[in-house]
Amino acid sequence: MSQGASPEGDLEPVAAADTGENWSPTRALGRAVLVAGLLLVAAVLLGRTDLVILAAPLALSVAFALGKRPRALPGLRLSTVESFPVEGGDLGATVEVENRDVTGYDLTVVHLQHSPWLRLEGGSVDAGPSRRGGNRPYVTLVPRGVATAVELAGPAVRWGRHWLGPASAHAVAADGLLVSRAVVTGALGVKVYPLTDPFKADEAMPRAAGLVGQHRSRRPGEGGELAGVRQFGPGDRLRRVDWRVSLRTERLHVAATLSDRDAEVVVLLDLLADAGRSGGIGGASSVLDRSVRAAAAIAEHYLHRGDRVSVLEYGAQARRLRPASGRRQYLTVLEWLLDAHPSPTAQERGGAQLAAGISAAALVVVLTPLLDARSAAMLAGLARSGRFVVAVDTLPTDLTSPPVNTWSDVSYRLWKAERENTMGQLGEHGVPVVAWAGAGSLDAVLRDVSRLAAAPKAVLR
């Protein structure tokens, strides 16, 4: 009895037809019939009535148990309690077994397969350690006309799209003499959103070009940043009058301010290479883990401030998420990040091609481990196109090279020196490289990029 997932995430049980193939004899039934048959044959051959007396209770108990044979298969339904958990949050799943027969089951064994990143535990009776991480059996009693739920709960230790199910159940009846065929449900998809690392950037954006927002721009207007004092003119508000300067000069003067505007932030994920092994939340982090969590944190920060955020992928798929603002865009970014996967076979695309779809006033935050030469060329190309680029190093600090031979340590140190040289060359091209460290990671580099934005154009070439 195969069942598919409904849009709500539940699997409704389907009535099973009463056929002889639904229930099959167990080894206990075979042993009982064999023993009773041997005793009867021996009684006939040896002419001993005492053997008949020994075989009669066994044969009668088997016949009585088979007389209580159930007719219908158990119904099975799989559902999730939390549809969209966050990385490290608890996830609940329920496997409901229903007995729609007039005869009760002796017991029901339930198996639930799931992703190894979902650490689900619980159930009525745990039948022992799992042979495979996500296929542990659970035993429950299901009386007649009753539905029993096997509830499982546990943390989702890593972001991504995971699978929950299929679930299967075998019912045992007739005093253990009959077992039903497997009742199997479909699988459910579980979305686990990445946990955002603490991030806060206090520095102003290099160029704010929107209409309203929280970033100081270089254009005069209504805002909180003082730009100077000028003489009163038509349209100026009286609350802007600077009375000290007005009394000293005997002419009305007002305080001029710079307008506060929003900005566009482009988060570019470099997916050409991955390194390290992911241990989930609380464990080791791979390059992909650090990139996805950092992208979620940066997007959350700037979207909370009212800025427009877009996400790009530098890899084989070259996916692109259009710029927008608000909480809906934040949820869209999290959904977009679930499909991020390393793609080392990406087509050659330079920074100029990427810059064609990026606003000239946008701040481009590139999350890259700098493990591929094409990544450095892409960063240099974005800088030459006049974009404001900040490179965030997502390579784990605890990453080490496995010892292969006596030259492994020397080659690893040479590679690190070459990588640091590449970072220095990117800095000379106007691309600051900063290691990801959560809150305040971009303050220093945003200050430098803001100075470059205020510099003459000849300096940027």
Position 355 pLDDT exceeds 80: no
Beta bridge partners of 313: 269
- What CATH number does the domain located at 8-21+70-192 have? 2.60.40.10
What per-residue confidence (pLDDT) applies to 362? 86
Position 6 pLDDT exceeds 80: no
State the burial class of residue 187 (Cβ atoms within 10 Å of its Cβ: 0-12, 13-18, 19+): middle
Beta bridge partners of 385: none
d(CA 46, CA 110): 47
The region of weakest confidence among 51-60, 144-153, 236-245, 376-385 is 236-245
What are the Cα distances from residue 451, in Å, to 305, 364, 388, 454?
Answer: 22, 16, 11, 5
What per-residue confidence (pLDDT) applies to 330? 94
C-alpha torsion sign, points 405, 409, 411, 415: positive
Q: Which of 170, 143, 177 has its CA nearest to residue 1?
A: 170
Q: Which of 98, 304, 59, 99 has its CA nearest to residue 198?
A: 304
Residue 145 gets the label, from left (phi > 0), alpha (psi -120 to 50) or beta, of left
- What CATH number does the domain located at 264-454 have? 3.40.50.410
Q: What angle do CA 453, 427, 277 make, to 5 degrees?
A: 115
116-167 per-position pLDDT tens digit: 999 988 755 444 444 344 667 899 999 888 899 999 999 999 999 999 989 9
For residue 215, the SS3 value is: strand
Find how far residue 186's CA is from the centre of its chain: 21
Q: Which of 256, 258, 254 has its CA nearest to residue 223?
A: 258
Q: What is the mean pLDDT of residues 172-196?
A: 92
